[in-house]
Amino acid sequence: MMVKINRNLIVASCLLLLFLLGNTLIAAEEKGLTRGIIRGTIINETPAGGSVENQEVILYVQKENSEEESLISQSDSSGTFEFPDLSTEAAYTYYLYLNYQGGEYTSATVSFQENQTLLALDLVVYDATTSAEKVEIAIDHIIIEKAEKGALLISESMTFRNSGDRTYVGTRNQASGAYEVLRIPLPAGYQDIQYVEGLMECCVSQSEYGLTDSMDLKPGLKKVLLQYRLPYGGRSSLVHKSFQYRTAAFYILAPAPFELSGESLTLEGPLEIQGRQYVALGGEGIPASSEITFKISQLPFVWPRHTGLLVVISILAFVMIGISYSLLKKKEEKGAPVKITKTESLPQTEEYLKAKKKTLLSLIAHLDDQFEAKEIRQDAYKEMRQELKERLVKIMEKLVKKGGQK
């Protein structure tokens, strides 16, 4: 059976289809639904660097700052990649990511402008290195903000510099498998660390010695700003500052009336910063793997946390001196009930002074034991021991006058 084809009907149907398709495209353009392309090139800026062919480039697609999807493109022999068929709506933004030889690279976040359908977005990369030879600190600033509740509030700003032409990716920790890139030593006992700039909490590990960052260090500068608290005891504090990398310049600033001192450091100032007086201590050309000790004086006095028991013992001891002396005098009244009465002051008799001398000697011995057990900081130990010795000397002088020293 033969079917007769109506050519006029076929032509009419094709014309109708083209008309409908044209109207759809026009409507899409009117609604801003045209599709766009992001095209770019991977550029290796390390001289005679590695190949950029067959690299996996990821495009992250966000809509109103929420991630929608991620797309993958493979670079060709010249490092060129392309992502077609992208929405050009204003609500959509895009950025690129590439892991090249262990270094991580991201592009700026971009979006299509009105009537724009092509975006050029390149990625600059470098060969990777595990050598820290080209890593240094251009400047390290420690600023003593204030002293409160037995702790110094410290801000520390470090500007790292990679002077080479390769991205420093650090070394792999054999135990955890994670890469360790920047090592940032901090003073012993630091607390309440805050990452203000340059570090991400997800990429930093803490220890009693300081911080380790797993983010790579690309050629150029990277600023790190931290804030932490450092407990102290007594009227002064010795701070031991370690340097992992060679440091071109190091400065400590402290507000008046605090005082600064330290070996191999130069005292500068006073300086006026935003209407406030500061003293400064500084040094230059500090080698890697070295340590500098500096002293902060004229701090508000506090008893260290570990000496709370010592203070209680001291108070109880002097109370017991008074009680013992009262009991000693009462024993002279045989048969009479012993009554301990509160007195405003005790007489400075020879028996009383001997008892006080014995108590002070016991306190000094107890303080020595605490220091040997590393329960008290050295600066606090020296200051409290000196104070107890001064009291002991005064007691001894009084005993000499009374002729009671043996």
What residue spans define the domains of the chain? 7-125, 135-297, 305-402
What is the pLDDT, as a whole number, of residue 270? 80
The residues pairing with 148 across neighbouring beta strands, listed in sequence order, are 151
Same fold, 7-125 and 135-297: yes
Average pLDDT per consecutive 10 residues, the chain (406 residues; last block may be shorter): 52 54 50 82 96 97 92 97 96 97 96 94 97 96 92 96 97 82 95 95 92 96 96 90 96 93 86 85 94 93 52 46 46 43 52 76 78 72 82 85 61
What is the pLDDT, as a whole number, of residue 402? 73
Q: How far is CA 291 from CA 75, 180, 260, 279, in A?
A: 48, 21, 17, 21
Correct CATH for 135-297 of 3.30.70.270, 2.120.10.30, 3.40.50.960, 2.60.40.1730:
2.60.40.1730
Please state whether the predicted TM-score (pTM) of the whole model is above 0.95: no
Closest by CA to 292, choosing from 160, 142, 191, is 142
Does domain 7-125 fall under CATH 3.30.70.20? My reply is: no
Tokens describing residue 203: 């990429």
Phi and psi angles of residue 367, each rounded to the nearest 5 degrees, phi first: -65, -40
Closest by CA to 94, choosing from 58, 62, 57, is 62
Q: 168 with 134: CB under 8 angstroms?
A: yes
Q: How far is CA 398 from CA 64, 193, 357, 365, 401, in A?
A: 82, 51, 11, 22, 5
Radius of gyration of the chain (CA): 37
| Distance of alpha carbon 164 from alpha carbon 126, whole angstroms | 10
What is the pLDDT, as a whole number, of residue 155? 96
Tell the residue number behind the tokens 């045989």, with chain if given: 334
